[in-house]
Structure 1
């Protein structure tokens, strides 16, 4: 049974479930690999239309994480690389961005983000189906965010189809998953994105 507090973003730094973004690299101090990574989702720094201070960026990312419960953040606003960042779904993080993942994160090192988070989304929807007696199937992963705190926490947004629907409409679902010690996967919750109507 999922409780309401599992949806909330914890900001207590002494709680292992805390999601409090911190700076990995300040603007201009990042190595070349980190700069390329940033450009994948926000473009070149000189082309950015926003020019917030570090404090303003920190406030904005915290507010977006809290408001969306970790699922909707506009990373194009930030020059800073935080430890809460998007997955580049069609690339292997270990090959292209080895400085992001530590050695304990061996499972994701072998797969693209799309494969890894697709597998976790299928596990999450299977648990949801068992609990709610539904039969949703994962179509694709839309996006995934990674929080690299004391453990990895993933915020996965994905598309499902409902075989019970004659019109085969798709729905958006969200799952929050924790990777403990690099090998143990803990599914916090899986839900339809708020403000959608889903029937089966």
Structure 2
């Protein structure tokens, strides 16, 4: 009777151990599988994000949740109703920035546009906030005729002396034209490099893709931990 009890106890413990080992294996497999899935999606999102930045100069980027977890500095969707809406105070701040941009445009072009509607805004943080704004404006002589503008502005952090700097304002058209910018601004009509600011980190854990636009050719580069670029693929 004692031998039978011992045998039953040993069988029960063996079953418990096997179950525990199976559960541990399954947990490890799922955790590993989930980890590589996240890495894979992050890479795919990084590539698509760079395409967005290069094709729109930052004025229209998608929502990339996996990429946002691995990078602290990206151009993100900030105000894109109805998907990304804001409080009344935050919206009022955007209209203030849009008015600042259109006044800059008016002073350069000797015209008198007024902001009618802020359509959408992307942002990028870094010692303040970069705003990539798309808005509509009109002139009194045009009646209800609206023109769509794109403006890139920088708003510094509040201390010690906050300021707003307009990088450029342009009419939105099929081709990049009618660009009004400060002397230091990047000339978007010429071939240019388009980077997310995270791509410049010399100590980044992951490789980041940085895109260079030359005519209609988009070449993607991969920047390693020491900032050495190499061509990894072309589109």
> How would you bin the TM-score normalised by the shorter chain?
0.5 to 0.7
Gaps of 5+ in 1: 1-27, 29-51, 93-110
Report whether the alignment pairs 1:53 with 2:30. no
The equivalent position to 1:160 in structure 2, one of 137, 141, 144, is 137
Question: Higher RCO, 1 or 2 (CA under 8 Å, sep at least 6)?
Answer: 1
Where 2:141 maps in the other structure, the secondary structure is: coil
Structure 2 match to 1:126: 103
- DSSP-derived class of the 2:111 partner: coil
User: In structure 1, how many angstroms separate the alpha carbons of the residues matched to 2:128 and 2:90?
Assistant: 18
Name whichever structure is richer in helix by fraction: 2
What residue in structure 1 maps to residue 86 of structure 2? 91
The Cα shift of 1:126 comes to 0.9
Task: Name the CA distance, whole Å, in 2 between partners of 1:73 and 1:90.
Answer: 16
Q: Once superposed, what is the RMSD of the aligned Cα atoms?
A: 2.5
Alignment coverage as a number of residue pairs: 127
Which residue does the alignment assign to 2:53?
A: 65
Displacement of 1:187 after TM fit? 0.9
Question: How do residues 12-51 of structure 1 correspond to structure 2 at under 5 angstroms?
Answer: none
Q: Is the 8 A contact 1:90 1:112 kept in 2?
A: no
The 1-side partners of 2:141 and 2:172 are apart by: 19
Classify the secondary structure of the residue corresponding to 2:45.
Answer: helix
The 3-state SS of whatever aligns with 1:53 is helix
Q: Is contact 2:95–2:118 with CA below 8 Å preserved after alignment?
A: yes
Equivalent residue, structure 2, for 1:193: 172
List aligned pairs for 1:147-186, cutoff 5 A.
147-166=124-143, 168-182=144-158, 183-186=162-165
CA contact (8 A) 1:124 1:175 kept: yes
> Against the structure 1 CA distance between its residues 113 and 62, is the aligned structure 2 distance closer, same or farther, given a 3 Å change threshold?
farther
Secondary structure of 2:104 counterpart: helix
TM-fit CA distance, 1:113: 3.0
Alpha-carbon shift at residue 154 of structure 1 (Å): 0.6
Higher strand share: 2
Q: Which runs of 5+ in 2 are unaligned?
A: 1-33, 35-39, 179-235
Contact conserved, 2:133 with 2:151, CA < 8 A, in 1? yes
1:72-111 equivalences in 2 (<5 Å): 72-75=60-63, 78-80=64-66, 81=68, 83-88=74-79, 90-92=85-87
